[in-house]
Chains A and B, each alone.
Chain A
């Protein structure tokens, strides 16, 4: 079945860039997602990329997709303490359901 893997923790200094990596196994994935979960809150869809794209940029966020290696990354420029959260990678297909398969989440800790 589909599987999505990501590292559990990332610690960065405020102002630096953060890069959160993810790998997935389903070659038929149509959408690759990044969700953010702040303490006590639900999952917030940050951004997603279609599988026929290599890159998507949205303000401080840059998503890179290497479809050959099934590798997805999320880069956060100028990381702020408010970016501290759990970031979930997910993949989904358009073959009817669009149900995302989630990774375990990466805890991003931003310290001053």
Chain B
């Protein structure tokens, strides 16, 4: 069964460094998402992406964040200058055309900022 994959599973970085989190959505899906979950807190929406542009973003998704679909398969989240409070689990998700309410999640990338 097709699934969303994410790499790396764990990323450790120094404060102020840039990180890129990678996702490969399910191949025939058209809508892509990033969420994050800070330890002990709720899963929070960051951004959604459709037709090569951001379709919606939350207040969390400020100028330090960016997303890109550099080719036909990858979907990336870049955090430009990481802060301690960016430490979280980051989940990628995708959904098919006509069924946007059905989101398929990847296993997540745990980002630790030191």
Contact = CB atoms under 8 A, between A and B. Distances in A.
B42 A104 contact: yes
Interface stretch (A20-28, A39-47, A75-83): A39-47
Contact of A104 (B41, B48, B102): B41
A99 B42 contact: no
Nearest to A103: B42
Interface residues of A, number: 25
B56 A97 contact: yes
A88 to B, nearest CB: 7
Interface string A21-58: 00000000011010100001111110010000000000
Nearest to A100: B103
Contact of B106 (A35, A42, A88): A42
A87 interface: no
Given A97-B56, A98-B100, A99-B48, A42 B105 contact: yes
B51 interface: no
A98 B101 contact: yes
A57 to B, nearest CB: 18
Given A99-B48, A102-B42, A103-B42, A42 B91 contact: yes
30 contacts: A31-B101, A33-B101, A35-B105, A40-B107, A41-B107, A42-B6, A42-B91, A42-B107, A43-B43, A43-B91, A43-B93, A43-B105, A45-B102, A45-B103, A45-B105, A48-B101, A96-B56, A97-B55, A97-B56, A98-B100, A98-B101, A98-B103, A99-B45, A99-B48, A100-B45, A100-B103, A103-B42, A104-B42, A105-B42, A105-B43
Given A41-B107, A100-B45, 13 more contacts: A42-B106, A42-B108, A43-B93, A43-B105, A45-B102, A45-B104, A92-B101, A97-B48, A97-B55, A97-B56, A100-B103, A103-B42, A105-B43
Interface of B: 4, 6, 33, 41-45, 48, 55-56, 91, 93, 95, 100-108
